């Protein structure tokens, strides 16, 4: 019998964490399939997910293939005056072309990702940020190659067999060219990827059968990649760190691919600048981060590693995160 978990705003119990992991594998997985794989009742899954999503603890959104937009994106490190970090962080988070915003430990640095290569990005970098008196320095890094993004990361509370049972079928056809209705469907899923066929049909004024057929076609073309956004502290990952790595050019690809396979890593990108590889990693505690540095990075032959610890994630995969106590 399900007795419920503690307050979802402060803690997730074991079943909650397994449910989040199920959504990481397939954000549109039906409750019945999740219940069967996890060995609990469908009623329990429905109630738990309603509580978690209703409280905003977990958000499932559409995540387009980052390989299409990552190359040419910019990683920003912004130093700001003390006391102004929240203002600048939330101004960046309000931009639709900025899907990731972090406040770093110490409260004087913000990390952000800026997509696109048009005039809006250039105005931000060359006019808007420099004109802000609270900004002391802006250091941009161009993304040259994506090894792994946040959509690849799994928190590790499911067995490999459970992950395999929940995984959606791989893309089986070339990505279709979305028409007007497809674009409206994708836009709706970008807000809430767990909306039912019926709810989407009502929202878009289209028959449920049409919605179901369109989503099947988009999924077959690999356009329905989802992302479950949750504060990693609720999954037992108290330390979130950005690692700026100097790697010998001849080993850059091998090191990037090795880190992309590591279960604690939730992003790896080759970049321009003094650090040519950037990796983001979740650890249970600071001792875990030390072990990752010595036992994982050390044998890879990294020349130099700068570690920047995230104090607070403001926005992830386009979703504003609630601020935990």
Helix (H/G/I), strand (E/B), else coil: 57: coil
Average pLDDT over every residue of 122-134: 90
Answer whether 74's CB lies under 8 Å from 113's CB.
yes
Average pLDDT, the chain: 90
Q: Which of 118-127, 230-239, 254-263 has the highest mean pLDDT?
A: 254-263
Helices within the chain (DSSP H only): 14-25, 31-38, 42-54, 85-93, 119-123, 129-131, 160-166, 180-191, 197-204, 208-220, 252-260, 286-291
- In angstroms, what is the C-alpha Rg of the chain? 20
Q: How confident is the model at residue 200 (pLDDT cuts 50, 70, 90)?
A: very high
> Higher pLDDT residue, 231 or 253?
253
The string of pLDDT tens digits covering residues 69-84 is 677 799 999 999 988 9
**pLDDT attached to residue 107:** 87
What is the rounded CA–CA span in Å between residue 271 and residue 279?
Answer: 10
What is the rounded CA–CA span in Å between residue 79 and residue 187?
Answer: 33
Helices and strands per DSSP (H, E), number in the chain: 12, 11
What is the rounded CA–CA span in Å between residue 86 and residue 108?
Answer: 10
Tally Cβ neighbours within 10 Å of residue 116: 16
Q: What residue segments make up the domains of the chain, in order of their start?
A: 172-223
What is the rounded CA–CA span in Å between residue 126 and residue 158?
Answer: 45
Q: What does CATH list as the number for 172-223?
A: 1.10.10.10
Rounded to 5°, the CA angle 129-131-137 comes to 50
Please state the pTM of the whole predicted model. Answer: 0.83
Percent of the chain whose pLDDT exceeds 90:
69
């Amino acid at each position: 019998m399900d007795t419920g978990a503690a307050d979802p705003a402060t803690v997730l119990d074991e079943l909650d964490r397994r449910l989040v992991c199920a959504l990481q594998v397939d954000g549109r997985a039906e409750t019945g399939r999740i219940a069967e794989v996890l060995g609990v009742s469908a009623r329990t899954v429905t109630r738990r997910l309603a509580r978690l999503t209703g409280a905003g603890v977990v958000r499932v959104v559409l995540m387009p293939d980052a390989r299409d937009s990552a190359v040419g994106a910019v990683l920003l490190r912004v130093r700001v005056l003390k006391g102004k970090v929240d203002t600048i962080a939330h101004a960046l988070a309000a931009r639709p072309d900025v899907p990731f915003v972090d406040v770093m430990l110490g409260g004087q640095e913000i990390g952000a990702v800026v997509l696109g290569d048009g005039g809006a990005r250039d105005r931000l970098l060359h006019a808007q940020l420099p004109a802000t008196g609270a900004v002391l320095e802006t250091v941009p890094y161009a993304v040259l190659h994506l090894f792994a993004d946040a959509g690849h990361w799994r928190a590790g509370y499911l067995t490999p067999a459970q992950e395999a049972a929940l995984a959606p079928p791989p893309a089986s056809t070339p990505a279709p060219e979305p028409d007007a209705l497809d674009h409206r469907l994708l836009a709706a899923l970008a807000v809430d990827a767990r909306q039912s066929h019926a709810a989407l049909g009502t929202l878009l004024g289209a028959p449920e059968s049409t919605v179901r057929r369109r989503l099947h076609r988009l999924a077959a073309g690999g356009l329905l990649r989802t992302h479950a956004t949750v504060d990693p502290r609720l999954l037992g990952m108290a330390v979130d760190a950005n690692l700026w790595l100097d790697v010998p050019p001849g080993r850059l690809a091998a090191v990037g691919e090795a880190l992309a396979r590591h279960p604690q890593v939730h992003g790896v990108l080759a970049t321009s600048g003094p650090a040519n590889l950037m990796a983001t990693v979740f650890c249970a505690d600071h001792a875990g981060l030390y072990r990752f540095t010595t036992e994982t990075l050390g044998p890879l032959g990294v020349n130099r590693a700068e570690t920047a610890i995230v104090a607070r994630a403001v926005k992830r995969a386009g979703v504003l995160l609630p601020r935990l106590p």
